[in-house]
C-alpha cells in the first residue's frame, strides 16, 4: 500500500465532482496573484513521510478525482491539519459534505488518528485518538453510519481509533485508500501559494 510510506498524512474527501471544486478554486484563488494553479497528474510529492510542522510554510495542495472513483474529489495538502480552514470554506460555499482524515502510525512521536465530518461548513462530527504525550480520546457529535462505535469502548486508548479503523471508515464511504490505483489521477489541480 502506497499509504504505508507515510508516518502521518492527511486528506479530505469532498463529496463533489472535481469540476465543481476546480471552478471554486479558480474563482477564489486564481485571480489573487498569490497562487499558481496548474492542471497536472496527481503525485505524492508534497512531503516525504509527514507534512512539515506548523503553518509557516507556503501551502501546496492537490485536488484530484481518484482513478477508482472519478465522481469524487480528494484534497491532499502539505499542512498537518489538512488545511482544514479551506475545507470549511469550500463546504460552506458549495453546500457539500467533507470528510477530513488524519492518519498516523501508532508509534509516531505525535501520533494523531482523527476524522471530521463537515456539512455546509459546519462541523457535525469529530473523533480522534492522539498522543500528547499520553494517549487521549475525544468524540463529539452524533455517530455516523460508517463508524464502528464498539471501537470507542476499547480499554487501550490508542486502539479506539487507529489507522486500520480509519481505512475501514474510508472504505465504507466508497473510497478505498488501500488500493494504490485510488491515488492515481490524470484529473488533478495543483495549487501552490507564491507569496503571503
pLDDT for 139-170, tens place per residue? 999 999 999 999 999 999 999 999 999 999 99
Q: How confident is the model at residue 1 (pLDDT cuts 50, 70, 90)?
A: confident
Rounded to whole angstroms, how far apart are CA atoms 181 and 154?
Answer: 33
pLDDT for 23-57, tens place per residue? 999 999 988 889 999 999 999 899 888 898 887 89
For cell 474529489, name the residue: 73
pLDDT of 110 > 90? The answer is no
Q: What are the domain boundaries of the chain?
A: 2-193
Which is nearest to 177 in space by CA: 72, 90, 40?
72
Amino acid at each position: 500500500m502506497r499509504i504505508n510510506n507515510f508516518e502521518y498524512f492527511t486528506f479530505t474527501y469532498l463529496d463533489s465532482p472535481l469540476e465543481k471544486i476546480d471552478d471554486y478554486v479558480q474563482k477564489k484563488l486564481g485571480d489573487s496573484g498569490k497562487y499558481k494553479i496548474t492542471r497536472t497528474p496527481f503525485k505524492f510529492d508534497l512531503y516525504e513521510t509527514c507534512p512539515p510542522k506548523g503553518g509557516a510554510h507556503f501551502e501546496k495542495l492537490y485536488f484530484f478525482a481518484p482513478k477508482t472513483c472519478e465522481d469524487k474529489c480528494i484534497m491532499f495538502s502539505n499542512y498537518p491539519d489538512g488545511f482544514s480552514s479551506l475545507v470549511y470554506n469550500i463546504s460552506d460555499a458549495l453546500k457539500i459534505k467533507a470528510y477530513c482524515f488524519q492518519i498516523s502510525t501508532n508509534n509516531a512521536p505525535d501520533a494523531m488518528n482523527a476524522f471530521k465530518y463537515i456539512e455546509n461548513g459546519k462541523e457535525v462530527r469529530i473523533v480522534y485518538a492522539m498522543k500528547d504525550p499520553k494517549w487521549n480520546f475525544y468524540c463529539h457529535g452524533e455517530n455516523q453510519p460508517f463508524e464502528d462505535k464498539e471501537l470507542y469502548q476499547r480499554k487501550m486508548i490508542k486502539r479506539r481509533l487507529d489507522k486500520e479503523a480509519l481505512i475501514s471508515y474510508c472504505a465504507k464511504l466508497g473510497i478505498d485508500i488501500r488500493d494504490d490505483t485510488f491515488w492515481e489521477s490524470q484529473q488533478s489541480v495543483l495549487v501552490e501559494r507564491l507569496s503571503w
